[in-house]
């Protein structure tokens, strides 16, 4: 009798009530959303995955969902948001290892190696043991003597087997430029003697420039291009569509020449060759990827070391610090001094910044803090005011911030790059801000168009778009670090 009563009571205690059924239903829906989101990540539909993870989190927040959304945001390069998701994952479950891993990956992608080390010790310690990497993260390290002061390219012997273009005179000839383009197009490799000479000549010129270079636009106008990211054959397509660089057909390339695409060496060599041939036909701005931290992760360092050697990479890294931070285009219209500012990333976390302030920055360093970091890393947002950067560096700035900065500096228009756009460009902030991106089908997978802007002498913009062209069978990121490899989804 006693046993029967216990069984009846036990059975009654375990009858699910309405509330528990509802909880089970919520968890079931959240689990289905998680599985759908995981599938979206597998299909590289990262924005869709983020939306699905968000819906699941709203139903049933847990460490796994936040960690998985952090992964999707990492794939979208929204490292600031990924970091916050990883922190929330750890807050919900301090024993969940992937929360720490995701946070480490976000910090690692941002070049915050010491912070990443706490969560990602094994991977970071391996990198810290590499001498170059240790120097890159040690902000207190003494700056070494410039390689440009000791390098002797004249003593380098050019082997008889070398079939590429030669540069024996003082100046680069026009024929050398075109011979080099065709040689690189056919996957030839410029001899290291001529490459080092090119870097020496380019740095000597770039070091003379201001942080923000004033450029009077001639009657023929100027073409402004955005990120090219090592997509050499698309760069050549721009020249095919718009004409090769010359004094009557000048170009301004707005940073991020390297990384991602696996022909970054060819891109930067071609651009620097035109700089040395005629500085008035090729203007260059620094991007956030012209830095040691980004090059180590996203491929340029590995590509240079594969195609050449560590010394030549060190020369590139030092040269990148000599690149100007922006160009101020000045229109050629009587009675109307119209100006357009071209910088890579965006604006600043406070009002009141003047061009004069930017001229006083020390640009010969890594862009990891202060106004220089914001200039190279920031992005516009639709909302007014300022917001948290999705990248974890710089700031998000609204159209009101844009207009106040431009008005304070008597500038009509801000042109920036730094973000992939489906049509290759986007106009916002009451037509006072343009984003231009010149790497079509970014990383061979995004399906976007590339674009460039033709500015007339009166600084009226015209937009031109183009699709990707074929390239040799070397995939993007072929030389990239494996430090951003991810643990599987849960």
Q: Which residues are catalytic?
A: 289
In the chain, where the domains are located: 18-129, 174-478
CATH no., domain 174-478:
3.60.21.10
* 338-360 average pLDDT score: 97
CATH class given for the domain over 18-129: mainly alpha
Fold: same for 18-129 and 174-478? no
- For residues 38 and 166, which has the higher predicted lDDT (pLDDT)? 166
Question: Per-residue pLDDT tens for 415-444?
Answer: 999 999 999 999 999 999 999 999 999 999
Q: What is the pLDDT of residue 124?
A: 52
Q: What is the 3-state secondary structure (H, E, C) of the chain?
A: CHHHHHHHHHHHHCCCCHHHHHHHHHHHHHHHHHHHHHHHHHCCCHHHHHHHHHHHHHHCCCHHHHHHHHHHHHHCCCHHHHHHHHHHHHHHCCCCHHHHHHHHHHHHHCCCHHHHHHHCHHHHHHHHCCHHHHHHHCCCCCCCCCHHHCCCCCCCCCCCCCCCCCCCCCCCCHHHHHHHHHHHHCCCCCCHHHHHHHHHHHHHHHCCCCCEEEEECCCCCEEEECECCCCHHHHHHHHHHHCCCECCECEEEECCCCCCCCCHHHHHHHHHHHHHHCCCCEEEECCCCCCHHHHHHHCHHHHHHHHCCHHHHHHHHHHHCCCCCEEEEECCCCCCCCEEEEECCCCCCCCCCCHHHHHCCCCCCCCCCHHHHHHHHCEECCCCCEECCCCCCCCEECHHHHHHHHHHCCCCEEEECCCCCCCCEEEECCCCEEEEECCCCHHHCCCCCEEEEEECCCCCEEEEEECCCCCCCCCCCCCCCHHHCCCCCC
**Segment 468-490, tens digit of pLDDT:** 999 999 999 999 976 443 333 44
Task: Pick 63 or 190 by higher pLDDT.
Answer: 190
67-106 pLDDT, tens digit per residue, is 899 999 988 889 999 999 989 988 888 877 788 888 988 8
- The 10s digit of each residue's pLDDT in 295-338 is 999 999 999 999 999 999 999 999 999 999 999 999 987 767 79
pLDDT of 17: 53
């Amino acid at each position: 009798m006693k046993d029967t009563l216990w069984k009846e009571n036990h059975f009654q205690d375990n009858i699910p009530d309405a509330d528990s059924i509802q909880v089970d239903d919520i968890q079931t829906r959240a689990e289905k959303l998680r599985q759908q989101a995981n599938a979206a990540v597998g299909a590289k539909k990262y924005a869709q995955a983020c939306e699905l993870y968000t819906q699941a989190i709203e139903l049933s927040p847990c460490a796994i969902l936040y960690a998985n959304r952090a992964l999707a945001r990492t794939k979208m390069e929204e490292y600031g948001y990924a970091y916050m998701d990883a922190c929330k994952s750890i807050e919900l479950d301090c024993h969940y290892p992937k929360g720490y891993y995701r946070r480490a990956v976000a910090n690692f992608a941002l070049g915050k190696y010491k912070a990443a080390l706490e969560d990602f010790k094994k991977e970071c310690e391996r990198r810290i043991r590499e001498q170059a990497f240790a120097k890159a993260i040690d902000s207190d390290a003494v700056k070494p003597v410039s390689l440009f002061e000791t390098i002797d390219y004249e003593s380098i012997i050019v082997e008889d087997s070398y079939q590429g273009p030669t540069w024996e005179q003082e100046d680069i000839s026009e024929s050398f430029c075109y011979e080099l383009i065709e040689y690189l197009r056919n996957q030839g490799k410029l001899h290291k003697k001529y490459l080092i000479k090119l870097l020496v000549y380019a740095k000597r010129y770039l070091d003379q420039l201001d942080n923000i270079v004033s450029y009077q636009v001639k009657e023929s106008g100027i073409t402004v291009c955005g990120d090219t990211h090592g997509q050499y054959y698309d760069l050549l397509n721009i020249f095919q569509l718009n004409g090769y660089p010359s004094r009557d057909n000048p170009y301004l390339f707005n940073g991020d020449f390297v990384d991602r695409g696996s022909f970054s060496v060819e891109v930067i060599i071609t651009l620097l060759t035109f700089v040395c041939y005629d500085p008035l036909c090729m203007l260059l701005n620094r991007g956030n990827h012209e830095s040691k931290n980004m090059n180590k992760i996203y491929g340029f360092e590995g590509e240079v070391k594969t195609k050449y050697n560590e010394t030549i990479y060190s020369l590139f890294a030092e040269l990148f610090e000599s690149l100007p931070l922006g160009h101020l285009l000045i229109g050629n219209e009587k009675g109307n001094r119209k100006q357009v500012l071209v910088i890579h990333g965006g604006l600043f976390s406070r009002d009141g910044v003047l061009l004069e302030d930017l001229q006083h920055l020390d640009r010969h360093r890594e862009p990891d803090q202060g106004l220089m970091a914001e200039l190279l890393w920031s992005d516009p947002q639709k909302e007014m005011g300022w917001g948290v950067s999705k990248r974890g560096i710089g700031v998000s700035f609204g159209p009101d911030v844009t207009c106040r900065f431009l008005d304070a500096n008597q500038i009509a228009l801000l042109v920036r790059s730094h973000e992939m756009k489906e049509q290759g460009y986007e106009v916002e902030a009451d037509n006072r801000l343009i984003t231009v991106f010149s790497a079509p089908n970014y990383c061979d997978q995004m399906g976007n168009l590339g674009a460039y802007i033709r500015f007339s002498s009166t600084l009226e913009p015209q937009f031109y778009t183009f699709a990707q062209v074929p390239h040799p069978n070397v995939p993007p990121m072929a030389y990239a670090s494996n430090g951003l490899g991810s643990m599987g989804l849960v």
